[in-house]
Amino acid sequence: DGGITQSPKYLFRKEGQNVTLSCEQNLNHDAMYWYRQDPGQGLRLIYYSQIVNDFQKGDIAEGYSVSREKKESFPLTVTSAQKNPTAFYLCASSFRGTSHEQFFGPGTRLTVL
Amino acid sequence: AQKVTQAQTEISVVEKEDVTLDCVYETRDTTYYLFWYKQPPSGELVFLIRRNSFDEQNEISGRYSWNFQKSTSSFNFTITASQVVDSAVYFCALTILYYNAGNMLTFGGGTRLMVKP
C-alpha cells in the first residue's frame, strides 16, 4: 500500500542529545514537509523540500536540520539547540504545486527528559 | 502573511446532532486554496476537502458539507447527524498560489469535536 511511514511512534531522549526522526513515502511525491504540533495547537512548518537535494526553512526551523538525499526520504534531526523539543512531529508529502493536498504520516511523539 | 482562525477550541454534541465548525482566514492574495483536515486520536491527519478561491460553490459529501463565503472570508464545515466516530480534532488550512515556493500550509489552531453517544 502507498503511504507515509514515520518511525518510531514514540521516542524518548535525554536533554542535550541530538535525535533523528525518520520519514519515508512511496507515493512518488516530489515535495515533503515536517510539522511540529504542540498540545492544543495547530501545526507549524519546520522545513520543506520540493526536490531532492533542496530544502527550505519553514516558520520554526531553529534547532532543527534536514536532508533530502532520496526522493522517498526526508529525515529530521532535532538538535540540542532546540530549546523545547518535546512535541508531536508530523511528516507530510504532496505533488508539487499549490493545489495539491498533503498526505500525512502517523507522527512521532518525542519526549525529552 | 496568512492567518487562519478557528475560534471554537472545543465543541461537545450528542450523537445525531448537527454541528458546524467555523473557519475564518486572512490573506492579501486573490488566489489561494483552503483545506480541511481531520485528526483522529491516532494522530494522523486525514484530508477532507480542498477549495480554491474562485470556486464558491458549496460542497456536500455524505454527512459533510462545506460553506465557502469570500465576502466574510469564511470556510465553515458542517457535520449532519453526527456520530461518535466523528470525534476528532479538525483543522482548517490555507495556502496561497506562490510560484515555486511549494505548498506551504498555514493551519488554524484546530477545533476538538466530541460526539457523545
Q: Look at residue B102 in the predicted model and tell me its pLDDT.
A: 63
Using the beta-carbon criterion (under 8 Å), do B107 and A92 form an inter-chain contact?
no
Using the beta-carbon criterion (under 8 Å), do B91 and A50 form an inter-chain contact?
no
State pLDDT tens for residues B58-112.
888 899 999 999 999 999 999 999 999 999 999 999 988 765 556 788 999 999 9
Chain B residue numbers with beta carbons less than 8 Å from the beta carbon of A105 are 44
Q: Look at residue A98 in the predicted model and tell me its pLDDT.
A: 67
State pLDDT tens for residues A27-69.
999 999 999 999 888 899 999 999 999 999 998 999 999 999 9
Chain A residue numbers with beta carbons less than 8 Å from the beta carbon of B45 are 43, 90, 92, 104
Mean pLDDT (whole number) for B47-56:
90
Q: Look at residue A73 in the predicted model and tell me its pLDDT.
A: 97
Residue A80 has pLDDT above 60, yes or no: yes
How sure is the predictor about A23, in pLDDT bands with cuts at 50, 70 and 90? Answer: very high
Q: Look at residue A89 in the predicted model and tell me its pLDDT.
A: 97
- Best residue of A98, A100, A110 to probe chain B, by most B CBs closer than 10 Å: A98
Q: Look at residue A1 in the predicted model and tell me its pLDDT.
A: 64
Burial of B88 (0-12, 13-18, 19+ CB in 10 A): buried
Q: Is the peptide bond before B117 cis (omega within 30 degrees of 0)?
A: no
Mean pLDDT (whole number) for B36-57:
92
A86's CB contacts (< 8 A; 6+ apart) are A110, A111, A112
- Best residue of B9, B104, B112, B113 to probe chain A, by most A CBs closer than 10 Å: B104
* Alpha-carbon span A78 to A46, nearest angstrom: 11
Residue B114 has pLDDT above 70, yes or no: yes
* Of the candidates B66, B4, B47, the residue with the CA atom closest to the CA atom of residue A95: B47
Nearest CA in chain B to A6: B44
**Opening angle at CA B41, ends A110 and A1, nearest 5:** 85
Assess contact for B48 and B37: CB atoms under 8 A.
yes
Chain A residue numbers with beta carbons less than 8 Å from the beta carbon of B47 are 101-103
Q: Look at residue A85 in the predicted model and tell me its pLDDT.
A: 92
Nearest CA in chain A to B38: A104
Q: Look at residue B66 in the predicted model and tell me its pLDDT.
A: 94
Mean pLDDT (whole number) for A78-107:
90
Q: Where are the beta strands (DSSP E) in chain A?
A: 4-7, 10-13, 19-25, 31-37, 43-51, 54-57, 64-66, 76-78, 87-94, 103-104, 108-112
Task: Tell me how close the Cα of A107 comes to any Cα of chain B, in angstroms.
Answer: 6
Chain B residue numbers with beta carbons less than 8 Å from the beta carbon of A100 are 103
How sure is the predictor about A100, in pLDDT bands with cuts at 50, 70 and 90? Answer: confident
